[in-house]
Structure formats: structure tokens, C-alpha cells
Amino acid sequence: MSDTTLPLAGKHALVTGGARGIGAACVHALLTRGARVTIAGRDAAALAAMQTALAHEFGAGSINVQAFDVADPESVRTGFDLAARALGRIDILVNNAGQAASAPLLKTDAALWQRMLDVNLGGVFHCTQAALPAMLDAGWGRIVNVASTAGLTGYRYAAAYTAAKHGVVGLTRALALEVATRGVTVNAVCPGYTDTDIVREAVANIVAKTGRTPEQARAELAAGNPQQRLVQTGEVANAVAWLCLPESGAMNGQAIAVAGGEVM
């Protein structure tokens, strides 16, 4: 998309976990606002399919894909270097990649604990370290971390995930203060239960463990939202895209709940 009147024209955004769910919605929202977008993830086939589909709408020159693992620092560095070569300096980073797993604390083993930290918190750290130097050199940048309402409150039976997402919110606030005078903003969006693969897996888990129907399980997850529904991916993506706009420069260090009033 070459319309220079669009608010993110000329900007290069990288979205981790961008091939599905909230990440895919963020990719579309940023492209619609004129950005060039690198779609990052671990599933090369899913990335390629998304690239092909979006090229018809936005043009092949606006889209790049990079397969890497956010939990692996070397993989991240290589992926970011290749993305910058393809579409230029990365101006916007959306740290969306994440995993969710539930277990009572006493059944949370060290491997599960570490995996939740490595992907959900370590991934944000590694990707931010890779993107930040160029933003500081340019005097402009936007970093948006997709956390969760679990990063603002407690979720029972999800201690590892909740701890990691609290860490994402803390990292967001700390870095926002570090770079506040450098033209770079750092914010988080905190979705409630959103209609994604992660929630569909949670529904299947509830059904398997409790014998409830899928409809009952979805209603149970939606019950915490005062609107009595699941959040839609596009609603989260619109909040992310707004934080990336040039005119959102006063938004810094915020953790914005996109959850129908679940957290206030």
C-alpha cells in the first residue's frame, strides 16, 4: 500500500506471533494504516500462506515474513536483521507471541514454569532488545506488548502464565521510563478472554476435565467480562494500532485493558 496520506505510511512494523489470532488482526490493522509489515512466527507454512493472502490486498512489497523463535536470542537477532534488510529499519514492534497453559501451582512443574516465562516474558525482552537500538538512533519508535488481564490481576490455576504477564507489564513500565525522552513509547494492551486458538484450547480443556459442553465452557470464560462475551481479535488490534500512531505519542507506560470492563 503506497498511499502516503495514511498515518503509518513509511513505517515498518514487526509483529511476532503474527500468523494467527490477535497477531494476524494486528498485521491487518497496521497494513490498513499504511505500514509495511514483517509477520514473524515459528510456523513457516502459516506465514507463507498469510503473506500470499495479504499480498493480493496490500501488495507484495508491503509484506515480509520471518520464521524465528522469540525464546531464542540468536534466532531473534537473525530474524530482525533479515527483516530490516527486507523492509528497512523497524519502527514499530508488536510483541504478541505467547503461550498459555493452566495448572494448579502444586502441579506446575519447573518445565512448565520456565516455558511460560521464556515465551511470554523472555520473548518480549529478546525482541525489544533487538528492535530498540534502531528506534533510539532514529528518535522515533513504538513498542506495544500484548499482555493480558492476567497481567493486571490474578488468574487461578494459571500461576506461571499470570506471573509472566505481570512481568510483561512491569517491563513495559520500566522501559517506558527509560526511553521517555527519546521519541520511543512503550505500552501494553491487556486483552481479556479473546476468541482465539488459545481460548478454544481452554474450552477443550474445560470440557475434558469437567464434562461441561463447549457452549457452557465458553460461557464460563465470558462470564468475567461484564459484556458477557469474548473479546474479538479486531478489537485488540485496533487498540494496538492506535498506540502506534504518531499522534499517540503521549501514551507511554500504559497497560490498557481490552476486556469489556473486566478490569478497571
Helices (H) and strands (E) in the chain, counts: 9, 7
Degrees to nearest 5, angle at CA 5 with 3 and 10: 70
Query: Catalytic: 161?
Result: yes
CA distances for 16 relative to 33, 68, 83, 216, angstroms: 18, 9, 12, 32
Q: How many residues does the chain have?
A: 264
- Ramachandran area for residue 4 (φ above 0: left; ψ -120 to 50: alpha; else beta): alpha
Cβ–Cβ under 8 Å, residues 205 and 100: no
Q: For the packed helices 21-32 and 233-244, what is the interaxial angle rounded to 10 degrees?
A: 50
In eight-state DSSP terms, residue 230 is P
Query: What helix, strand, coil percent values describe the chain, rounded to 5?
Result: 50, 15, 30
Assigned C-alpha cell, 200: 478454544
Tell me which of 155, 157, 161, 193 is the catalytic residue: 161
Question: Cα dist. 190→93, 145, 195 in Å?
Answer: 16, 9, 14
Cell numbers describing residue 152: 493486571
β-pair partners for 13: 37, 92
Residues with a catalytic annotation lie at: 161
